[in-house]
Structure 1
Amino acid sequence: MTFSEIAERLAGHFSTGVILQTNTANPQPFLVVESAQIADVCRFLRDDDRFFFDFLANMTGIDNGLQANTMEVVYNLTSIPYEHNLMLKVVVPRNAEGEPLPVVPTVSHVWRTADWHEREIYDLVGIHFEGHPDLRRILLPTDWQGHPLRKDYREVETYHGIKVK
């Protein structure tokens, strides 16, 4: 199944606005999906026999910086039996320091591997995954301040009296 066929079938199944953008200019085309609908879209892509995206190959978070004022969650899906791949993106407004983190619904109930991917994104980029069963830091200590992969992250000089720079 081609990217265009997947996009058309998704657009036909979901109401207007779920798929916000189709980008075929990149070497790997992608769909931008409305944040509130990402879990439903992922469940549909996994469960529908025409697609059967049974593998979440990768999931990552991106801080597009202060100028763009957005953050992204990128999902790389694979259908092992059909041997096709699909990239989905969710774009959310970036939060300023002291404001609540951006929120994206969890897909950990769709693919179990999303559990650790979402924890890593939360830890390093600072995106909250609503409905995640155990959203806590996975790489950094629980009392660490900030999210190191954000563009505005300021490195600390010491941590509990230990020089870290």
Structure 2
Amino acid sequence: MRRTVRVLTAAALAATALGALAAPGYAADTGGLEVYPTTVVPGADVTVNTAACGDGGAASGDAGAVGAGRFTLAPSTHEGDAIGQFRVPPSAQPGTYEIVATCAEGGRVVRGDLLVALTPERGQLQPHGSVKTGVGGALGPDPVQTAAGVAALAVAAAGGTWLLHRRARGDGI
């Protein structure tokens, strides 16, 4: 029984070692289409790039799912990637959209996802108003109260200056 376990263990280790030797030390990322930024609001510019088309390879992009239409990915000096841009239309609805690029040579198709989020005008709640801490704020909601507070501070500052001036002259308080 022990001998069988040892033989099976040795066979598993040998298979693992052979698999590690056969696998490359690293693999170039020629996977999909990189979308930056991955989350945008309608009206924003989006940059896409891919290394799938090879060095100097161009591609034709399609952002029709989000309503942006077709765009071109041109070869660049940045790590041999093909890079392109498009603008998300202001009428785009929130959701996840698939962006597709097809390499000019070979016809390889790569895909990436773009998430369109709501703009503040379309329903996201934005903070407004003052914090109710009981301490007060620099500017209250009522301009009359704000003006009265500024006037009271000005009178206090003028009175304090006048008293300090009298004390410095020796007139007493």
- Greater radius of gyration (CA): 2
Task: Provide the TM-score with structure 1 as the length reference.
Answer: 0.27
Give 1 or 2: higher helix fraction: 2
